[in-house]
Amino acid sequence: MQEMNLSTLRSEWHNRIYFRDRPSEWKTCGMDSCAISINSFANDDIPGKKPGNHATKMPPTFEVTGMPINLEADDIDNIESTKFESEGVTVSLEEDVNPEAGGVDSIKSTKLECTEDPIHYKANEISVQFLVPGNTSHIFDGFNWLKYGQKNRKNSIHPRSYFRCADRDCHVKKQTELSSDCEGTVSITYYGKHNHLPPNNHVSSNAKRPKH
DNA sequence: AGCCTTTGACCAGCG
DNA sequence: TCGCTGGTCAAAGGC
Ligand SMILES: [Zn+2]
């Protein structure tokens, strides 16, 4: 049995993410090693958004960290650039430099920066969406989650599942849904960022660690 | 005993 | 204003 540590969790997660038949309207990172994809920045569909409590403009710089998108040193060799620009939005990776090892040790966060006036961005939170292969909404991602709802949605074949992070002091949510137009694909959307690392003891039964 | 899931109710936004 | 829709609540049941 493989030891359950953070590095294992991260590499396992990273290995599980890739795109398949990605919807064309998605803005995607151009790097082969990066799994990040943004499904529309003008996202009004933010859970928990209260009337009068959301910005009419996206702040010029916002950050997504604590997502299971961390890349280890071995992966970085495959990255040609740590910056990617498209349509007024810059995606850059923040490096964690390790001088003793002679270079970058890991990439610890991803920054999303608007380089144009984001006048049409109404959301006050950023969401990050992944497509992963699978036929269940119970996808292992290294974090513990509590499922708090499930809804059938119009024009969707499969129900959408609603989760919040099992850490009481963390307010990250995620939604998962089996893709309607690509069989065998699960959409996972994260809202907010974790204020903690993935737990070493993974207990949530909604996303069991795959057995080897 | 303690989490976690299930599931209908509930509620707010909107057309 | 009323019904549809999607996000959340929470009681009850399961493991
Ligand atoms: Zn969390």
pLDDT in tens, A113-169: 433 333 222 233 445 666 565 678 877 666 789 999 999 999 899 999 999 989 888
Enter the tokens of residue A45.
Answer: 């569909």
Enter the tokens of residue A105.
Answer: 């040790």
Taking CA A21 as the corner, what is the angle to CA A159 and CA A178, rounded to the nearest 5 degrees? 10
Cβ–Cβ under 8 Å, residues A189 and A47: no
Residues A54-62 have a mean pLDDT of 30
Buried b or exposed e, range A58-90, using 16+ CB within 10 angstroms = beeebebebbbbbbeeebbeebeebebeeeebe
Q: Is the pLDDT of residue A188 over 90?
A: no
Cβ–Cβ under 8 Å, residues A146 and A161: no
**DSSP characters over A86-136:** ETTEEEEEEEEEEGGGTEEEEEEEEEEEE-S--TT---SS-EEEEEEE-SS
Segment holding A10, helix H or strand E: helix A6-16
Query: Which nucleotide's C1' atom has the smallest distance to the CA of A155?
Result: C5
Cβ–Cβ under 8 Å, residues A177 and A165: no
Q: How far is the CA of A150 from the C1' of B7 (A)?
A: 8
Residues A180-189 have a mean pLDDT of 72
Cβ–Cβ under 8 Å, residues A204 and A167: no
Q: What is the DSSP letter of A76?
A: H
pTM to 2 decimal places: 0.55
Query: Which nucleotide's C1' atom has the smallest distance to the CA of A159?
Result: C6
Q: Is the CB of A184 under 7 A from strand C?
A: no
Q: Is the pLDDT of residue A79 over 50?
A: no
Q: Between A108 and A18, whose confidence is greater? A: A108
Query: Which nucleotide's C1' atom has the smallest distance to the CA of A161?
Result: C7
- Percentage of chain A lying above the pLDDT 90 cut: 8
| Strand C contact nucleotides, protein CB < 7 Å | 4-10
Among candidate residues A123, A99, A107, the one with its CA nearest the CA of residue A14: A107
Q: Is the pLDDT of residue A48 over 80?
A: no
Q: How far is the CA of A82 from the C1' of C9 (A)?
A: 42
Q: What is the ipTM score, two decimals? A: 0.94
